[in-house]
Structure 1
């Protein structure tokens, strides 16, 4: 099949198909005497594998090492190891994202807990000092010495 037909069957653009070919991912390409590319039916499967792997978070280099030169020669154990490693990578990313989210939610709470008599600049200093774990004097004369990152939370002050 020609590149136009392959593009229709896979939903990819001609340029994306050429890119995968030049990146060494699509190897089932022949050239006619006029220079036109011809693709076997295996090219559809290879391109679907590439796009699915990319959606799952695999880099092109990772995909290149996993794709066999012949689709009949899959390295079962290597494929399973790579899939399991990707699951572990995703779990680690989820953990980092959860920690980042918790920090941001805490920061929002600290900002929203601004005392009514404090201006924004003083509140910013108060919040930054809490983030750095330092004690600071607030305009009310009280010392805010709670270390940053503690699970205890002050009640949020809500504007009425």
Structure 2
């Protein structure tokens, strides 16, 4: 199949497909006598796997190492290991994002509910105190202002 048809079926641009080829993520395909690339039907499957892996957070380099070379078999053990590692990375990222969200909510609540009778400097110190109490801002070292 020609690159235009592959692009249409995959939802990718022809330049993206060429980029994947140049990056070694998909193998370079033979050209026909008139110079067109001729892609086998399994190229569509590989492109779908690449797109899915990128959405899951894999880099092109990681994907390249996980895909079978040529007509070789999939390295199932390596693939499962990489997938499990990615799940762990995502779980760690989710934990960091949850902590960031909680910190931001404390900051918002502290700013919105600050005492009105304090001057600007007092409000700032009150908000910072609340943020320190909740671990959003580190405690000041003794002797520092």
What TM-score do the two structures reach when normalised by structure 2?
0.84
Q: Does 1:100 align with 2:105?
A: no
Distance, in Å, in 1 between the alignment partners of 2:71 and 2:106 is 50
- Answer 1 or 2: which has greater helix percent: 2
Q: Does 1:113 align with 2:99?
A: no
RMSD over aligned Cα atoms: 1.9
Q: Would the aligned equivalents of 2:50 and 2:63 in 1 still touch at CA under 8 Å?
A: yes
* Correspondence for 2:83: 83
Deviation at 1:21, TM superposition (A): 0.7
Distance, in Å, in 1 between the alignment partners of 2:134 and 2:76 is 48
Q: How does 1:118-129 map to 2 (within 5 A)?
A: 118-129=118-129
Gaps of 5+ in 2: 137-145
Deviation at 1:32, TM superposition (A): 2.4
* Correspondence for 1:22: 22
Aligned residues: 136
SS at match of 2:118: coil
- Answer 1 or 2: which has greater strand percent: 1
The verdict on how the C-alpha distance between 1:35 and 1:121 changes in structure 2, with shifts beyond 3 A counting, is farther
Deviation at 1:70, TM superposition (A): 3.2
Distance, in Å, in 1 between the alignment partners of 2:12 and 2:27 is 16
After TM superposition, what 4+ stretches of structure 1 lie above 6 angstroms from structure 2?
none
